[in-house]
Amino acid sequence: MTEKILVTDALDPDLDGTACIVAYSEFLRAKGQSIETLIFGTPQEESAFVLEKLGIEIPNGDDLNLDFDQIILVDTSGARWLSKKIDPAKVCEVIDHREVADTGDFPNAKIQLEMVGSCATLIAEKFIAAKIVPSEKSAIILYAAIISNTINFKNKVTTKRDKKAAKWLVDLYGISDEIIHQMFEYKSDVKLSIKQIFQSQIGCHTFVDKKVSTFQLEIIGVKEFITNNLNEIKKELILIAANEDYFCTLFTCVDIELGNNTFVVADKKSEDVVAGALGVEFKNGIAHYPHVIMRKEILPKIKNYLENRSLDSLEMT
Protein backbone atom coordinates (compact mmCIF):
# COMPACT_ATOMS: atom_id res chain seq x y z
CA MET A 1 0.00 0.00 0.00
CA THR A 2 1.30 3.43 -0.83
CA GLU A 3 1.87 5.77 2.07
CA LYS A 4 -0.58 8.60 2.62
CA ILE A 5 1.32 11.84 3.03
CA LEU A 6 -0.12 15.19 4.08
CA VAL A 7 1.44 18.50 3.03
CA THR A 8 0.43 21.46 5.22
CA ASP A 9 1.54 24.57 7.14
CA ALA A 10 0.86 26.10 10.55
CA LEU A 11 -2.61 27.36 11.48
CA ASP A 12 -3.89 30.36 9.47
CA PRO A 13 -1.24 30.22 6.73
CA ASP A 14 0.08 33.40 5.15
CA LEU A 15 0.71 33.69 1.42
CA ASP A 16 4.20 32.17 1.65
CA GLY A 17 2.93 29.09 3.48
CA THR A 18 -0.09 28.74 1.20
CA ALA A 19 2.08 28.95 -1.93
CA CYS A 20 4.43 26.31 -0.55
CA ILE A 21 1.54 23.96 0.30
CA VAL A 22 0.12 24.22 -3.22
CA ALA A 23 3.38 24.00 -5.15
CA TYR A 24 5.18 21.41 -3.03
CA SER A 25 2.14 19.11 -3.20
CA GLU A 26 2.25 19.42 -6.98
CA PHE A 27 5.99 18.76 -7.01
CA LEU A 28 5.69 15.58 -4.94
CA ARG A 29 2.76 14.31 -7.02
CA ALA A 30 4.86 14.85 -10.13
CA LYS A 31 7.42 12.60 -8.49
CA GLY A 32 4.78 9.91 -8.07
CA GLN A 33 3.92 10.31 -4.40
CA SER A 34 0.41 10.04 -2.99
CA ILE A 35 -0.16 13.48 -1.50
CA GLU A 36 -3.07 15.14 0.30
CA THR A 37 -3.10 18.91 0.68
CA LEU A 38 -4.88 20.59 3.59
CA ILE A 39 -4.89 23.88 5.41
CA PHE A 40 -5.87 24.40 9.04
CA GLY A 41 -7.56 27.52 10.37
CA THR A 42 -8.23 30.40 7.98
CA PRO A 43 -5.79 31.56 5.31
CA GLN A 44 -4.69 35.14 5.92
CA GLU A 45 -6.34 37.84 3.83
CA GLU A 46 -3.56 38.10 1.28
CA SER A 47 -3.43 34.33 0.74
CA ALA A 48 -7.23 34.12 0.46
CA PHE A 49 -7.10 36.89 -2.16
CA VAL A 50 -4.47 35.16 -4.32
CA LEU A 51 -6.12 31.72 -4.01
CA GLU A 52 -9.40 33.21 -5.17
CA LYS A 53 -7.75 35.12 -8.05
CA LEU A 54 -6.08 31.95 -9.28
CA GLY A 55 -9.12 29.75 -8.65
CA ILE A 56 -7.20 27.42 -6.36
CA GLU A 57 -9.14 25.61 -3.64
CA ILE A 58 -7.40 23.92 -0.73
CA PRO A 59 -9.57 21.74 1.51
CA ASN A 60 -9.67 22.61 5.20
CA GLY A 61 -8.65 19.92 7.68
CA ASP A 62 -10.12 21.40 10.88
CA ASP A 63 -13.10 19.04 11.01
CA LEU A 64 -11.63 16.01 9.29
CA ASN A 65 -10.58 12.75 10.87
CA LEU A 66 -6.95 12.70 9.91
CA ASP A 67 -5.31 9.44 9.00
CA PHE A 68 -1.90 10.02 7.50
CA ASP A 69 1.24 7.96 7.67
CA GLN A 70 3.47 10.97 7.31
CA ILE A 71 3.21 14.75 7.39
CA ILE A 72 5.30 17.37 5.59
CA LEU A 73 5.39 20.91 6.99
CA VAL A 74 6.27 23.98 4.93
CA ASP A 75 7.01 27.55 6.11
CA THR A 76 6.79 26.61 9.78
CA SER A 77 9.10 24.89 12.21
CA GLY A 78 7.54 24.56 15.65
CA ALA A 79 4.77 22.34 17.05
CA ARG A 80 3.16 25.22 18.95
CA TRP A 81 2.12 26.91 15.69
CA LEU A 82 0.30 23.84 14.40
CA SER A 83 -3.25 22.57 14.56
CA LYS A 84 -3.67 20.20 17.50
CA LYS A 85 -4.61 17.58 14.91
CA ILE A 86 -1.05 17.32 13.68
CA ASP A 87 1.00 14.66 15.45
CA PRO A 88 4.59 16.01 15.56
CA ALA A 89 5.92 12.44 15.65
CA LYS A 90 4.46 11.84 12.18
CA VAL A 91 6.23 14.82 10.65
CA CYS A 92 8.80 13.46 8.21
CA GLU A 93 9.97 16.67 6.55
CA VAL A 94 10.15 20.36 7.53
CA ILE A 95 11.02 23.12 5.06
CA ASP A 96 11.36 26.62 6.52
CA HIS A 97 13.37 29.83 6.43
CA ARG A 98 13.55 31.26 9.93
CA GLU A 99 16.44 31.53 12.33
CA VAL A 100 14.53 30.66 15.48
CA ALA A 101 13.04 27.23 14.95
CA ASP A 102 11.85 24.50 17.31
CA THR A 103 13.10 21.71 15.12
CA GLY A 104 13.47 19.47 18.18
CA ASP A 105 9.67 19.17 18.14
CA PHE A 106 9.99 16.84 15.14
CA PRO A 107 12.35 13.97 16.03
CA ASN A 108 11.55 11.98 12.88
CA ALA A 109 11.81 14.77 10.35
CA LYS A 110 14.34 15.69 7.72
CA ILE A 111 14.85 19.42 8.35
CA GLN A 112 15.66 22.01 5.70
CA LEU A 113 16.14 25.45 7.28
CA GLU A 114 17.69 28.05 5.00
CA MET A 115 17.76 31.79 5.50
CA VAL A 116 16.14 33.07 2.33
CA GLY A 117 13.47 35.76 2.11
CA SER A 118 10.65 33.41 1.27
CA CYS A 119 10.01 29.71 1.79
CA ALA A 120 8.54 29.76 -1.73
CA THR A 121 12.10 30.25 -2.97
CA LEU A 122 13.10 26.90 -1.45
CA ILE A 123 10.18 25.19 -3.20
CA ALA A 124 10.94 26.86 -6.56
CA GLU A 125 14.53 25.67 -6.22
CA LYS A 126 13.28 22.08 -5.89
CA PHE A 127 11.48 22.36 -9.24
CA ILE A 128 14.61 23.87 -10.80
CA ALA A 129 16.92 21.17 -9.43
CA ALA A 130 14.60 18.32 -10.50
CA LYS A 131 13.95 19.93 -13.91
CA ILE A 132 10.20 19.75 -13.27
CA VAL A 133 8.09 22.57 -14.70
CA PRO A 134 5.43 23.82 -12.27
CA SER A 135 1.91 24.54 -13.53
CA GLU A 136 1.19 28.17 -14.31
CA LYS A 137 -0.90 28.57 -11.14
CA SER A 138 1.85 27.15 -8.95
CA ALA A 139 4.42 29.38 -10.65
CA ILE A 140 2.28 32.47 -10.08
CA ILE A 141 1.52 31.74 -6.43
CA LEU A 142 5.20 31.01 -5.68
CA TYR A 143 6.20 34.24 -7.43
CA ALA A 144 3.54 36.26 -5.56
CA ALA A 145 4.77 34.82 -2.27
CA ILE A 146 8.38 35.76 -2.99
CA ILE A 147 7.39 39.32 -3.98
CA SER A 148 5.16 39.72 -0.93
CA ASN A 149 7.72 38.38 1.53
CA THR A 150 10.61 40.44 0.18
CA ILE A 151 8.42 43.54 -0.40
CA ASN A 152 9.36 43.52 -4.07
CA PHE A 153 13.00 42.59 -3.24
CA LYS A 154 13.37 45.76 -1.19
CA ASN A 155 13.53 44.52 2.39
CA LYS A 156 16.54 43.18 4.22
CA VAL A 157 15.55 39.51 4.18
CA THR A 158 15.87 39.43 0.38
CA THR A 159 18.65 37.20 -0.95
CA LYS A 160 20.09 36.53 -4.42
CA ARG A 161 18.37 33.15 -4.29
CA ASP A 162 14.94 34.82 -3.96
CA LYS A 163 15.66 37.01 -6.99
CA LYS A 164 16.92 34.08 -9.02
CA ALA A 165 13.94 31.85 -8.19
CA ALA A 166 11.49 34.69 -8.95
CA LYS A 167 13.15 35.36 -12.30
CA TRP A 168 12.97 31.67 -13.22
CA LEU A 169 9.23 31.64 -12.42
CA VAL A 170 8.54 34.84 -14.38
CA ASP A 171 10.45 33.57 -17.40
CA LEU A 172 8.47 30.31 -17.46
CA TYR A 173 5.10 31.97 -18.03
CA GLY A 174 5.79 35.67 -18.53
CA ILE A 175 3.90 36.42 -15.30
CA SER A 176 2.55 39.97 -15.49
CA ASP A 177 2.92 42.45 -12.67
CA GLU A 178 -0.83 42.99 -12.77
CA ILE A 179 -1.59 40.30 -10.19
CA ILE A 180 1.16 41.63 -7.93
CA HIS A 181 -0.21 45.14 -8.20
CA GLN A 182 -3.73 43.87 -7.43
CA MET A 183 -2.37 41.95 -4.44
CA PHE A 184 -0.62 45.07 -3.09
CA GLU A 185 -3.71 47.15 -3.79
CA TYR A 186 -5.87 44.67 -1.92
CA LYS A 187 -3.48 44.69 1.01
CA SER A 188 -3.63 48.50 0.98
CA ASP A 189 -7.38 48.75 1.14
CA VAL A 190 -7.30 49.75 4.79
CA LYS A 191 -10.64 48.71 6.21
CA LEU A 192 -10.10 49.94 9.77
CA SER A 193 -10.09 53.48 11.13
CA ILE A 194 -6.77 54.97 12.25
CA LYS A 195 -7.92 54.56 15.83
CA GLN A 196 -8.72 50.86 15.28
CA ILE A 197 -5.37 50.23 13.57
CA PHE A 198 -3.47 51.81 16.44
CA GLN A 199 -5.56 50.08 19.11
CA SER A 200 -4.94 46.70 17.45
CA GLN A 201 -1.18 47.24 17.72
CA ILE A 202 -0.99 48.93 21.10
CA GLY A 203 1.97 47.95 23.26
CA CYS A 204 5.42 49.27 24.05
CA HIS A 205 9.07 48.48 24.64
CA THR A 206 10.99 50.02 27.51
CA PHE A 207 14.55 51.16 26.84
CA VAL A 208 16.46 52.85 29.72
CA ASP A 209 13.18 53.53 31.53
CA LYS A 210 11.63 55.13 28.48
CA LYS A 211 8.51 53.68 26.91
CA VAL A 212 8.67 53.47 23.13
CA SER A 213 5.65 52.60 21.03
CA THR A 214 5.49 52.04 17.28
CA PHE A 215 2.61 51.47 14.90
CA GLN A 216 3.19 50.07 11.43
CA LEU A 217 1.33 49.78 8.13
CA GLU A 218 2.55 48.22 4.88
CA ILE A 219 0.59 49.63 1.94
CA ILE A 220 0.85 51.24 -1.50
CA GLY A 221 0.11 54.93 -1.98
CA VAL A 222 1.57 56.01 1.38
CA LYS A 223 1.83 59.67 0.37
CA GLU A 224 -1.87 59.88 -0.41
CA PHE A 225 -2.81 57.87 2.68
CA ILE A 226 -0.84 60.17 4.99
CA THR A 227 -2.15 63.32 3.32
CA ASN A 228 -5.76 62.15 3.63
CA ASN A 229 -5.43 60.97 7.23
CA LEU A 230 -2.80 63.25 8.75
CA ASN A 231 -5.07 65.00 11.25
CA GLU A 232 -6.52 61.71 12.46
CA ILE A 233 -3.06 60.08 12.71
CA LYS A 234 -1.61 62.97 14.71
CA LYS A 235 -4.66 63.21 16.97
CA GLU A 236 -4.57 59.48 17.82
CA LEU A 237 -0.78 59.43 18.33
CA ILE A 238 -0.99 62.37 20.74
CA LEU A 239 -3.86 60.75 22.65
CA ILE A 240 -2.03 57.44 22.98
CA ALA A 241 1.23 59.09 24.01
CA ALA A 242 -0.58 61.01 26.75
CA ASN A 243 -2.74 58.10 27.98
CA GLU A 244 0.09 55.60 28.13
CA ASP A 245 2.83 58.01 29.14
CA TYR A 246 5.01 57.07 26.17
CA PHE A 247 8.35 58.82 25.68
CA CYS A 248 8.41 58.09 21.95
CA THR A 249 5.33 57.37 19.83
CA LEU A 250 5.93 56.62 16.15
CA PHE A 251 3.77 55.67 13.22
CA THR A 252 5.84 54.09 10.45
CA CYS A 253 4.31 53.46 7.06
CA VAL A 254 6.06 51.25 4.50
CA ASP A 255 5.28 51.95 0.84
CA ILE A 256 5.47 48.40 -0.51
CA GLU A 257 5.55 49.47 -4.15
CA LEU A 258 7.97 52.41 -3.93
CA GLY A 259 10.15 50.72 -1.30
CA ASN A 260 10.47 53.52 1.26
CA ASN A 261 9.07 54.63 4.62
CA THR A 262 7.27 57.65 5.98
CA PHE A 263 7.26 58.41 9.70
CA VAL A 264 4.75 60.44 11.69
CA VAL A 265 5.37 61.16 15.39
CA ALA A 266 3.25 62.32 18.32
CA ASP A 267 5.39 65.16 19.66
CA LYS A 268 8.77 66.89 19.78
CA LYS A 269 10.23 64.30 22.20
CA SER A 270 9.37 61.47 19.79
CA GLU A 271 10.68 63.53 16.89
CA ASP A 272 14.08 63.98 18.55
CA VAL A 273 14.38 60.25 19.29
CA VAL A 274 13.42 59.10 15.79
CA ALA A 275 15.54 61.80 14.11
CA GLY A 276 18.54 60.84 16.23
CA ALA A 277 18.08 57.08 15.89
CA LEU A 278 17.39 56.97 12.15
CA GLY A 279 19.15 60.09 10.88
CA VAL A 280 16.02 61.60 9.36
CA GLU A 281 14.76 65.16 9.36
CA PHE A 282 11.20 66.01 10.38
CA LYS A 283 9.07 68.67 8.80
CA ASN A 284 5.69 69.30 10.41
CA GLY A 285 5.97 66.00 12.29
CA ILE A 286 6.63 63.95 9.11
CA ALA A 287 9.91 62.41 7.93
CA HIS A 288 10.86 60.25 4.96
CA TYR A 289 13.28 57.33 4.89
CA PRO A 290 14.70 56.36 1.48
CA HIS A 291 14.52 52.54 1.95
CA VAL A 292 12.20 49.96 3.43
CA ILE A 293 12.79 49.64 7.13
CA MET A 294 10.61 47.36 9.21
CA ARG A 295 9.59 47.97 12.80
CA LYS A 296 11.81 45.11 13.99
CA GLU A 297 14.80 46.98 12.50
CA ILE A 298 13.70 50.39 13.80
CA LEU A 299 13.36 49.32 17.45
CA PRO A 300 17.02 48.25 17.93
CA LYS A 301 18.13 51.61 16.48
CA ILE A 302 15.93 53.50 18.94
CA LYS A 303 17.17 51.29 21.77
CA ASN A 304 20.80 52.04 20.80
CA TYR A 305 20.13 55.74 20.55
CA LEU A 306 18.44 55.96 23.95
CA GLU A 307 21.15 53.87 25.62
CA ASN A 308 23.95 55.99 24.18
CA ARG A 309 22.16 59.19 25.07
CA SER A 310 21.75 58.10 28.67
CA LEU A 311 25.48 57.19 28.81
CA ASP A 312 26.36 60.65 27.44
CA SER A 313 24.25 62.39 30.06
CA LEU A 314 25.86 60.29 32.81
CA GLU A 315 29.31 61.33 31.63
CA MET A 316 28.28 64.96 31.64
CA THR A 317 27.17 64.94 35.27
**Angle value at C-alpha 278, between 157 and 213, nearest 5 degrees:** 85
Gap between the Cα atoms of 1 and 304, Å rounded? 60
Question: Within 10 Å of residue 43's Cβ, how many Cβ atoms?
Answer: 23
Gap between the Cα atoms of 270 and 250, Å rounded? 7
Between 161 and 210, whose beta carbon lies closer to Mn ion? 161
3-state secondary structure of 268: helix
| Amino acid at residue number 237 | L
**Least Å distance between CB 171 and Mn ion?**
23
| Amino acid at residue number 28 | L
Query: Which stretch, 117-125, 162-170, 228-236, 253-261, contacts Mn ion (CB under 5 A)?
Result: 117-125
Gap between the Cα atoms of 293 and 279, Å rounded? 13
Between 16 and 162, whose beta carbon lies closer to Mn ion? 16
Site membership for Mn ion, residue 257 (CB under 5 A): no
**Angle value at C-alpha 152, between 148 and 157, nearest 5 degrees:** 80
Closest to 46 (Cα-Cα) out of 13, 82, 7: 13
Site membership for Mn ion, residue 302 (CB under 5 A): no
Site membership for Mn ion, residue 46 (CB under 5 A): no
**Least Å distance between CB 103 and Mn ion?**
16
**Least Å distance between CB 208 and Mn ion?**
34
Query: Which stretch, 25-33, 43-51, 113-121, 289-297, contacts Mn ion (CB under 5 A)?
Result: 113-121
Q: In this chain, which of 5, 15, 16, 197 binds Mn ion, going by CB under 5 A?
A: 16
Q: How many helices (H) and strands (E) does the chain have?
A: 10, 10
Beta partners for residue 73, in sequence order? 8, 94
**Least Å distance between CB 119 and Mn ion?**
4
Site membership for Mn ion, residue 119 (CB under 5 A): yes
Site membership for Mn ion, residue 9 (CB under 5 A): no
Site membership for Mn ion, residue 93 (CB under 5 A): no
**Least Å distance between CB 155 and Mn ion?**
13
Between 20 and 273, whose beta carbon lies closer to Mn ion? 20
Residue nearest to Mn ion (CB): 16
Site membership for Mn ion, residue 145 (CB under 5 A): no
Beta partners for residue 64, in sequence order? none
Return residues touching Mn ion (CB under 5 A). 16, 75, 119
